[in-house]
Amino acid sequence: MKTETIAIHAGNHVDEATRAVIQPIIMSTTFERGEDGGFPAGYIYSRSSNPNRHALEHVLAKLEGGVEAACFSSGNAAGMSVFQSLEPGTHIIAPDDMYHGLRNQLKTLFAGILTFDFIDVNDTGVLQQHIKPETGLIWIETPSNPLLKITDIKKVVAIAKAKGIKVLCDNTFATPMCQRPLELGADMVMHSATKYFGGHSDLMGGVLITAKNSDWWAKIRTIQEMGGAIPSPFDCYMLVRSIKTLPYRMRGHVQNALMLTEYLSLHPKVESVLYPGLPSHPLHEVAKAQMIAFGGMFSFCVKGGEAEAKRVVNAVKLFTQATSLGGVESLIEHRASVEGPDTKTPCCNSCTIRCYSDGTSR
């Protein structure tokens, strides 16, 4: 079945009770038991499962080519469930430019429970050097937010599998329209559904999709049910609705990103453009091999430093200066300022490693 068909049909069914063509929103928190005390429709209580969440999980699992999906109230809640599922003392290897919200979550909430190294995961030597007997998870994010770094998924999977380490890929930037990490060997995929799945900047959500049923997956399901960081039936309904147009929206995003990055690459006031679809991207060939399309997100450095970058952000028309991505409207921001002092994002073209709000780079 074509992806477009899956996106439209896998989350939807005609409602048996009313024959409504679109699945109704089931707000009920609880479901009637049968005479024998059982649950005839398979639903007990909405924290455990709900028809709208079930429909959403079904379409997301199908789109990523996984066996099951578990939906959460945000991308960070999905990520947190993964960290909570690991035995205390487990070592995690994560990218040095991991989405800053999740990096901060690890550093703030899991310090003393898990151990972690933030490294250049795509550098085979560096990766192998950091693997320890207690390494349980390699987290990858490709393309990464906001440096658009590419990680060779198959290469990392091969190294991890040889040591019995799990690999999870944050696929938020790509979406399954542009990249399917499970087909490349990853054990699990994570998304902020707030972004392209939602597509209209009006809801929060997160999802994990597993390649296979396992004890690890069962633990994540338990955390979802017992922890209760679940999306509301309304948000699930909205997500199922938005996902129907995801393949078509992504085509537009990819086409626009290609046009804009080609234009900016030739602009005399632009220092560099970071987009895996450009032949100038250092891992363009890897991106070409593992991605179906290059995604709709890109970054660029302007000449003239931080002040000039901030002027551009404020001068553009139509684009709104705001955090986030994946909505049909266009957003722009000076990312280093948003991420704060320990960011890896350059604040200007003379500062390539770290920058600080006082304007210095170290």
Ligand X SMILES: Cc1ncc(COP(=O)(O)O)c(C=O)c1O
Residues carrying an active site annotation: 47, 99, 170, 195
Ranges within 88-107 binding ligand X (CB under 6 A): 99, 101-102
The site string for ligand X over 156-175 (x = CB under 6 A, - otherwise) reads --------------x-xx--
CB-wise, 49 or 76, nearer to ligand X?
76
User: Strand runs (DSSP E) across 99-219, as ranges?
Assistant: 115-119, 135-141, 166-170, 188-192, 206-210
Task: Identify which of 220, 204, 175 has the alpha carbon closest to the alpha carbon of residue 84.
Answer: 220
Q: How far apart are CA 281 and CA 262, in angstroms?
A: 12
Of 26 and 138, which has the nearer Cβ to ligand X? 138
Bridge-partner residues for 351, per DSSP? Answer: 348
> Does position 74 bind ligand X by CB under 6 A?
yes
Q: Min. distance of Cβ 305 from ligand X in angstroms?
A: 26
Site for ligand X contains 275 (CB under 6 A): no
Sketch the per residue contact string, 193 through 212, with ligand X: x for CB under 6 A, - otherwise: -x---------x-x------
Could you tell me the strand order of the sheet in which 115-119 lies? Answer: 68-72, 206-210, 188-192, 166-170, 135-141, 91-95, 115-119
Q: What 3-state class would DSSP assign to 175?
A: helix
Rg (CA), the chain: 21
Identified binder of ligand X from the candidate list 75, 176, 181, 295, rule CB under 6 A: 75
Residue 94 beta carbon to ligand X: minimum distance, rounded to whole angstroms: 12
CA angle 319, 347, 297 (to 5 degrees): 40
Residue with smaller CB distance to ligand X, 204 or 312: 204
- Kindly state the smallest distance separating residue 329's Cβ from ligand X, in Å: 16
Q: State in angstroms the smallest separation of the CB of 338 from ligand X.
A: 10
Q: Which residue is nearest to ligand X (CB)?
A: 75
Please, what sign has the CA dihedral across residues 101, 102, 103, 107? positive
Q: Are strands 115-119 and 320-321 parallel, antiparallel or unpaired?
A: unpaired
Q: Which 206-245 residues touch ligand X, going by CB under 6 A?
A: 206
Q: How far is the CB of 323 from ligand X (least distance, A)?
A: 7
d(CA 6, CA 76): 26
Under the rule (CB under 6 A), what is the footprint of ligand X? 74-76, 99, 101-102, 141, 145, 170, 172-173, 192, 194, 204, 206
